[in-house]
Amino acid sequence: MLPNYVLTDRAELETQSRLRQQTAYLGPGRLLCRVLGQYLMYVDPDDLGVAPHLCMNGFWESWITLAIARCLRPGFRCVDVGANHGYYTLLMADGVGDCGHVLAFEPNPQLAAMVKLSAEINGFDDRVSVIERAAAAESDKTVELLIPEGRAGDASICVELDGETRSETVQTMSIDEATADWPSVDLVKIDAEGAEDEIWAGMTDTIRRNPNLLVVLEMTPHRYKNPEGFIRRFGEDGFVLRQVDSDGTPAELSESEVLESSDWRMLFLQRS
């Protein structure tokens, strides 16, 4: 069950998470953190993006944490695209309960292994599946995943990256294929460093057959070949354009507000 402070407000979530935060060094390449006051989570000590926040604060993106936590219900079926270390995977797994399910897409083999371990030590392995593939428009394509040194969360299959990177050859899978035998899909979180438009193209059937679907999607317009067309797709598919505000609530915004921004936004897309 999600802790009450995770559902209240941002300040309380941050305060309580910091009070309950713990970190243990387990040897080269592995730390164990207590996040959101109760989940045990394996993290990469060499990561400079997510790991320092999890180790020192016990939470990540508190406003988005609130937005997602408030929407979760027992029995929900969720997809976490770009799971990274698995922070949102654990949050979802707790919220959906033992009758729900969470599918985590993470193409980085090192991080995918950590997501699996974290799910197991929290007792969520029966409700969490990890797909070690990159979500995309089509399945079974071979692509190169570029992983920046020390910033695995910025890894991308479609964006040129500055600085030192390493490459992993990975296979793709569409959300439509991954969830084809599910009776329903309730929530999809997408954070894929510029591949969001391709991922959306690979979930057309999922969108069509799930009228109550919620999509929480990170959007950075300059990363897409046709950002205007991508935004129009949301409306064509029946979604109201909203973003996650700083207090974790959804707030409506215009297409121009999204397109004129050089920064990323976390969109909160529902049909009503």
Tens of pLDDT, residues 137-173: 999 999 999 988 888 888 888 877 677 888 889 999 9
Q: How far apart are CA 234 and CA 217, in angstroms?
A: 11
At 262 the pLDDT is 83
Q: How many domains are contained in the chain?
A: 1
**CA dihedral in degrees (90, 94, 95, 97; nearest 10)?**
130
| 87-96 and 62-71 helices, crossing angle to 10° | 20
At 153 the pLDDT is 80
Residue 90: give its domain's CATH number.
3.40.50.150
Q: Which residues have a Cβ under 8 Å from the Cβ of 29 and sit 6 or more positions away?
A: 44, 45, 46, 110
- Can you list the alpha helix ranges (DSSP code H) found in 40-171? 51-56, 62-71, 87-96, 109-121
Which residues constitute the domain of residue 77? 4-269
Q: How far apart are CA 180 and CA 53, in angstroms?
A: 36
pTM: 0.96
At 123 the pLDDT is 97
